[in-house]
Amino acid sequence: MAYRILIIDDEDDIREVAALSLESVAGWQVIVAGSGAQGLARAIEHQPDAILLDVMMPGMDGPATFHELRKNPATAAIPVLLLTAKVQTSDQRRFADLGVEGILLKPFDPLTLHTQIAQTLGWQ
């Protein structure tokens, strides 16, 4: 199945590598957003199957964006996976306590990113 994934990350390189990986390796459709506010609008418009959300972004960071996604009935049920370079156990526990479906660490392997997403979300 061709899933539709929204990547919300302020770093152009991360968005580009993740999008290319998911499109070419997995055959998924990818929508990108460079900020939390832009990501909220794209989530409402495109209704993706899942969202990859960067934790550290200027303006509205990942946790704030996640809370806004959950408050809106149009986006509340979309699974969200956080992308983070923060590997401390306390940070990961705090992120998991938000209620996200999973946490993926940066840097990620572009060849296995789709597998990590699919396994985390229980997609076959």
121 assigned to some structural domain = no
Identify whether the C-beta of residue 95 lies closer than 8 Å to the C-beta of residue 87: no
Between residues 59 and 90, the one the model is more confident about: 59
62 assigned to some structural domain = yes
Question: pLDDT tens digits for 33-50?
Answer: 999 999 999 999 999 999
122 assigned to some structural domain = no
Residue 87's pLDDT band (cuts 50, 70, 90):
low
Cβ burial, residue 48 (10 Å; 0-12/13-18/19+): buried
CATH of residue 112's domain is 3.40.50.2300
Residue 93's pLDDT band (cuts 50, 70, 90):
confident
For the chain, the domain total comes to 1
92 assigned to some structural domain = yes
Print the domain residue range for 39. 4-116
